[in-house]
Amino acid sequence: MRLTLRIWRQKGPKEPGAFQTYSLDDANEHMSFLEMLDVLNQHLIERGEEPVAFEHDCREGICGCCSLVINGVPHGPWTKTTVCQLHMRAFRDGDTITIEPWRSRAFPVLKDLIVDRSAFDRIMAAGGFIDVRTGSAPEANSIPIPKPVADLAMDAAECIGCGACVAACPNGSAMLFVAAKVSHLGLLPQGQPERYKRARAMVAQMEKEGFGGCTNYGECEAVCPKGISITFIARLNRDFLRASFCPEGVGGKRVA
């Protein structure tokens, strides 16, 4: 396959960036998208140019590292697929492909296609956990959890924290990411004591990081490689609203 690649190049966080165009003659349809970029990079190195920096690690769709906007769509044209699992079968000989980093105020570009997503870690540290000390857990089967509830919690828990939801959202909102964690833990009996405190703390940190609000565009769900549903955002909104009526520090207390 012959391809024309328009790739965002940016030396550092404070440097201006620009698109550069490369042609690639030896791609083939069995390659993954990242392998196609590997091939390009090998050519660039051989030519004495600097290779394109992009984030990747597991290359099997689970670590959440890879983060490219391809032809305007985070993770590219296949639904429920990370960039690393996208294969060149999705493109045709002669195509021009535009490749950009995640674009969001809360995700500053570090270099080329790599962005800083540490805001997600700070949101998690603000409350994305169940406070259980190692060794203090009760017997695992002492609290039965109905299978549909456990399955729904698992649906939310599948989030890989890649940030595509933020990149796709016209508001740069991280609501789907936060909603997935709040729902996962809030659905389980173990997560009840801190349920409302958690929603409040995570949302507060999210706002502090400069993410926008949710206005129901639904773009996040459309690009999510794990198919996380926006109904979890409704769940987050409910919990957050309830939390607003809870006195500070009385996390689990339900009002009305």
Partner 1 sequence: MNLDPKIPSGPLESRWSRKKNEIKLVSPANKRKYSVIVVGTGLAGASAAASLAELGYRVKAFCYQDSARRAHSIAAQGGINAAKNYQNDGDSTYRLFFETIKGGDFRSRESNVYRLAEVSAAIIDQCVAQGVPFAREYGGLLANRSFGGALVSRTFYARGQTGQQLLLGAYSALCKEVGRGTVEMHPRCEVHDLVVVNGRARGIITRDLVTGELKAWAADAVLLCTGGYSNVFYLSTNAKGCNATAIWRAYRRGAGFANPCYTQIHPTCIPQSGDYQSKLTLMSESLRNDGRVWVPKNPGDKRAPNEIPEHERDYYLERMYPSYGNLAPRDISSRAAKRVCDEGRGVGPGGRGVYLDFADSIRRLGEAVIRDRYGNLFEMYERITGENPYQVPMRIYPAPHYTMGGLWVDYNLMSTIPGLFVLGEANFSDHGANRLGASALMQGLADGYFVIPYTIGEYLGNASLSPVSVDSQDFRDALAEVANRIERLAKSRGSRTVDWFHRELGRIMFDFCGMSRTEEGLKGAITKIRALREQYWQDVRVPGDSKDLNQELEKAVHVADFLELGELMCLDALTRRESCGGHFREEFQMEDGEAKRNDAEFAHVAVWEFQGDGKEPVRHVEPLAFESVKLATRSYK
Residues 40-99 that bind partner 1 (CB under 8 A): 42, 44-46, 48-51, 53, 55-65, 78, 80-81, 85-87, 89
Candidate list 68, 74, 99, 117; residue touching partner 1; CB under 8 A:
117
Pick from 145, 171, 139: nearest CA to 157:
145
- CB nearer to partner 1: give 11 or 213: 11
- CB nearer to partner 1: give 16 or 146: 146
Structure tokens at 34: 């990242």
Chain-centre distance of CA 109, in angstroms? 15
Pick from 216, 131, 147: nearest CA to 176:
216
Pick from 100, 115, 98, 218: nearest CA to 162:
115
The size of the chain, in residues, is: 256
Structure tokens at 20: 């550069």
- CB nearer to partner 1: give 144 or 170: 144
Q: Which residues of 195-220 are buried (b: 16+ CB within 10 A; e: fewer)?
A: bbbbbbbbbebbeebebbebeeeebb
Q: Using CB under 8 A, which of the segments 93-101, 186-194, 209-217, 235-243 binds partner 1? A: 186-194
| Inter-CA distances, 55 with 38, 48, 191, Å | 12, 21, 33
Candidate list 25, 94, 139, 256; residue touching partner 1; CB under 8 A:
139
38 binds partner 1 (CB under 8 A): yes
Q: Cβ 111 to partner 1, closest distance in Å?
A: 5
Q: What three-state secondary structure class fits 64? A: coil
Candidate list 23, 96, 137, 250; residue touching partner 1; CB under 8 A:
137
User: Which positions from 196 through 255 interact with partner 1, judged by CB under 8 A?
Assistant: none
Candidate list 74, 101, 127, 212; residue touching partner 1; CB under 8 A:
127
User: Which positions from 149 through 178 interact with partner 1, judged by CB under 8 A?
Assistant: 150-151, 153-154, 157-158, 160-161
